[in-house]
Chain A
Amino acid sequence: MLHSITPLLAVLASLAAVPFIILLKGRPNAREAVTFIAAGIKLILVASLLPAVLAGGEVEFTLAKVLPGAPLALRVDAFGLLFALVSSSLWIVTSAYSIGYMRGLDEHSQTRYFCFFAVALSATIGVAFSANLFTMYLFYEMLSLATYPLVTHHQDAEARSSGRKYLFYIMGASIALALPAMIITYQQTGTLAFSPTGILAGKVSPVMAGVLLFMFVFGFAKAGIIPVHSWLPAAMVAPTPVSALLHAVAVVKVGVFSILRIITGIYGVDLLKGLDLGMAVAWVAAFTIIVASLIALSQDGLKRRLAFSTIGQLSYIVLGLALLSPKGMTGGALHIAMHAFGKITLFMCAGAIFVATGKKNISQMTGIGKRMPWTMAAFLVGSLSVIGLPPTGGFISKWYLALGCLQAGSVALLVVLLVSSLLNAAYFLPIVYRAYFKPPVEAAWAEGRNEGPAAAWVPPLVTAACSLVLFFYPQPFLRLAQMAVAQLFGG
């Protein structure tokens, strides 16, 4: 157990950038340089924690003792680091992409955008590094609020109603369900610290434990479990970089990560197993997977289809965790990373298409492969990753998930997994097919390559490449996931 201020610095790195961003509002180049610098520092700080954690240690920092048993404290363990690594590395990519996207579309209020982006990142890392439920809740709410201005960036009627929906689900669920659940937990146990063996064991009645679990699962609505999912498609009105980072990586993953923490840190595998609650959650997740995939099939808006896809993919993670088998959990944790890289690619591609052509719907994109070959190539790789086909990272996580199903002895869930993968393929591959193999609908597209600003299409290529790389070299994510799971199962 190490005490170090590094986790705090990692959290604050992007927050500290905010004043500079505001100060430099008149000079966009300097402003975005600050963003980059902060992102770089953040990644370095997070990465610097890697050796210690890989060595089996944990890094701790207590900020303030606000509540007895639940201080404002940060602790870096393998799960957290995995998540933080994903988010902070993707921030750099997204920042670059944002610049391309925002400048390409000449969006208004860019300063505000970058500010809240930075705040949101801080909150994400905060959630990743939280040492206890309370700290996590704090950053969770901070993230909800910081993303609101991003979601409603366009400040028009549609953004308004989406923002309303977003807040209603996210804040409503967290205040009405997660907060009381947390307080009840605290009331019963006197602590909120995550512990590998759980803190609830023996403190609550089985019924109570079940109720609490569902309060948590639905309370952290960012995880997008049906029926608290509908904010996610609505939030797609946001500028694409926001959708990309926040709704493929930060926000939704924070939701899932929170559930991960609840399952591993608060309940503990043994308690859940003993009460047989894991399977219940797993089936809820399975239901979500199938339903979301089916809905995604019927969507024409590219971003909306991606959004429903995200809902389904998130539930993979929840499913993996809920299996409570070592392989399944490893898969679930790994899927956080793998899906992030895949999905962000897809979102960025969608954004790039929008920047270059102004098209949003799939039906309008027939033949776009001629126009934007690189973008669509990245899109293909991303799709493969999300579907879970080699040679992409997505395959590895899905593999582990499948193994986990077997390990948990539930063939039915395995079937669900496979069916849903088929559905994934069914809603992604036609897009690629349409883009490359159908004649362009617009005459201008036939002229040849024109991919718009480089800042918009290079980042997806980078992340797509990452997806590919992760298939061959899934370290350090795999290692971290395995370590974390090993700790859980008393390894």
Chain B
Amino acid sequence: MEEYIPLLLTKYNYWVYITLMMIGLWAMIAKNNLVKKIVGMNIFQTAIILFYVSIGAKYGGTIPIIQHGPGHGHGAAQIKALAYINPLPHVLMLTAIVVSVATLGVALALVIKIHRRHRTLEEDEILEQLRES
């Protein structure tokens, strides 16, 4: 038991991301309502973003925008890598957020299209309708 405590304390971000991700995954699989599934999907994607951003975090680092440096390359004499948070995960996650909003748009469009035809958003009811026809 003892050895798990530091594990818990040093990596809680990761635990939370896993929790969120599992919540999202569970919603995507088990929920019956299509919009709920989409909410779950977004939570799922956000969890991954959380994971990536957590990778980038750095104790003692400041945000990845270089201070006092409007001058073209001369102002900042010595930029220490340790002083700044790892910017790469942020870049990647910007892309991921964009992708998730794009997916959201398409998913909602599809939901509207489904509703137009079936007049319901409950998956089991839709399947029922399809089985009848």
Q: Do A and B have CB atoms closer than 8 angstroms in the complex? A: no
